[in-house]
Structure 1
Amino acid sequence: MSKHHYFFAIKLPKEAKDFLNEWMEAKKHEFPFAKWVHPEDYHITLAFLGFAPEDMKSAAIQTMPQVLIGVPPFSLTLHQIGTFGPQKKPRIFWADVKHSEELIQLQKKVYGQALKVGFDLDKKPFRPHITIARKWNSAEEFDPNLLTDIDGDFSFTVNEIILYETHLDKTPKYHEFARFSLK
């Protein structure tokens, strides 16, 4: 078994990463989180596999192109910021995208295939988001009134998914292990 975690995700294109990073840099002073995610690590997780035995990882890689047949590229639009965890001291700070039926269907296909291959996946409902920072780091309580829409109505095209491998000792920490095109 590998010492790395693996997950299928939508990789944000460089322009989306740059837009989101510039927007966050302008707002960072309002949000004292302990650890900010490197912009190269921005993504939307579709299925978190965790530690992946070689046979299951190989099966997922070999079967994913078939699963994606007939899934065309589609557009997503950055929407708003939010948090997960305790309201007064959130543990995750995120940006999301506007509702997309294409995204919901893609996630169902990827998640379903990972289950078929044998992975034990998180059962929580899918909440598409891009983690921006972790761990509230202030004596002051978090003010949920600071949560806003992302200015600028920035859209980007999703034309591939990635199987990422996590390297906790590196920055950026997510390595592209395999790529799968949408056509």
Structure 2
Amino acid sequence: MTPMAAINDHGALPEGEQGCRDFHGNPPTARLFFALWPDAALCRSLLPLVQPLHGTLAARWIKPANYHITLAFLGAVPQACIPPLTALAGGLPFAPCELSLQRLECWPRAQVLCLTATPPPALLDLVSGLNTVAGQLGLPVEHRPFLPHLTLARRVRRRLPPQAITPLAWPLRDFCLVESRLNTTGSSYTVLQRWP
């Protein structure tokens, strides 16, 4: 494991280092991702949109307390990698901005129902920074274009046409690192840290 002190002033690992995934044996890991996590008020504001669909669409509905938008999925991260990960993420600039949820979409391949939005430039900059941090530590990096989406339901069996909704403004003031634990009913989430 490369100690935090070994990360240079530019946030990069020294030449020749393999990053946090270069371990001997099987170190303990945590399944982590960076996310936007809405407050209770925003979750409540989604209920008039979501509740009418419960009776007409067979799916596994996400609990409002678990609503989020994934910014960067990291997968199984060695526990020893978490301190430098949080240190680098905490150093990223993040300008408060607003995300407007505007469309209800069903993605048949993934079998999810979600709300989508066009990302503001400040959010794109943050996602780019988080992927840079992940790459510096030898963690997975997403190369596909970032499309913000808040998943409402999984295992959706019936395809729905995309539809515009009354735009829902989400003021973005922070982002977080989240641990995901799989269980028999899906996933449970623990917010490990928030920034700024």
Q: What TM-score comes out, normalization by structure 1 length?
A: 0.82
Further displaced range: 95-104 or 167-176: 167-176
Q: Aligned in 2, Cα 1:37/1:156: closer, same or farther, shift over 3 Å?
A: same
Q: State the one-letter code of the partner of 2:111.
A: R
Q: For residue 132 of structure 1, report the CA deviation from its aligned partner.
A: 0.9
Task: Determine the structure 2 residue equivalent to 1:178.
Answer: 193
Q: Which has the higher contact order (CA 8 A, sep 6+)?
A: 1
Q: Aligned in 2, Cα 1:165/1:127: closer, same or farther, shift over 3 Å?
A: same
Task: Determine the structure 2 residue equivalent to 1:149.
Answer: 164
Q: Which runs of 5+ in 2 are unaligned?
A: 1-26
Count of matched residue positions in the alignment of Structure 1 and Structure 2: 169
Q: Is the 8 A contact 1:2 1:51 kept in 2?
A: no
Q: State the one-letter code of the partner of 1:161.
A: F
Q: For residue 46 of structure 1, report the CA deviation from its aligned partner.
A: 0.8
2:141 is aligned, of 114, 121, 130, to 121
Aligned partner of residue 52 in structure 1, secondary structure: strand
Aligned partner of residue 165 in structure 2, secondary structure: coil
2:124 is aligned, of 104, 124, 127, to 104
The reply to whether residue 27 of structure 1 matches residue 53 of structure 2 is: yes
Higher helix share: 1
Q: Aligned in 2, Cα 1:40/1:63: closer, same or farther, shift over 3 Å?
A: same
Task: Determine the structure 1 residue equivalent to 2:111.
Answer: 91
Structure whose alpha-carbon radius of gyration is higher: 2
Q: Distance in 1 between matches of 2:29 and 2:79?
A: 11
Q: Is the 8 A contact 2:119 2:147 kept in 1?
A: no
Q: Is the 8 A contact 2:97 2:120 kept in 1?
A: no
Q: What TM-score comes out, normalization by structure 2 length?
A: 0.77
Q: For residue 19 of structure 1, report the CA deviation from its aligned partner.
A: 1.2
Q: For residue 56 of structure 1, report the CA deviation from its aligned partner.
A: 2.1
Q: Distance in 1 between matches of 2:148 and 2:45?
A: 18
Q: Is the 8 A contact 2:38 2:67 kept in 1?
A: yes
Q: Distance in 1 between matches of 2:54 and 2:133?
A: 38
Q: State the one-letter code of the partner of 2:115.
A: A
Q: For residue 160 of structure 1, report the CA deviation from its aligned partner.
A: 0.9
Q: What is the RMSD of the two structures over their aligned residues, measured on CA atoms?
A: 2.1
Q: Distance in 1 between matches of 2:39 and 2:100?
A: 12
Query: What whole-Å deviation, never above 9, does each CA across 1:17-40 have from its counterpart, x for those lacking one?
Result: 11123311123333222x111111
Q: For residue 85 of structure 1, report the CA deviation from its aligned partner.
A: 3.6
Q: Is the 8 A contact 2:118 2:147 kept in 1?
A: no
Task: Determine the structure 1 residue equivalent to 2:8.
Answer: none
Task: Determine the structure 2 residue equivalent to 1:164.
Answer: 178
Q: Distance in 2 between matches of 1:75 and 1:117?
A: 30
Query: What whole-Å deviation, never above 9, does each CA across 1:119-159 have from its counterpart, x for those lacking one?
Result: 0233322111011111124xxx5242xx31223x2212111
- Percent of matched pairs sharing the same residue: 22
Aligned partner of residue 179 in structure 1, secondary structure: strand
Q: Aligned in 2, Cα 1:29/1:2: closer, same or farther, shift over 3 Å?
A: farther
The reply to whether residue 130 of structure 1 matches residue 182 of structure 2 is: no
Q: Distance in 1 between matches of 2:45 and 2:117?
A: 13
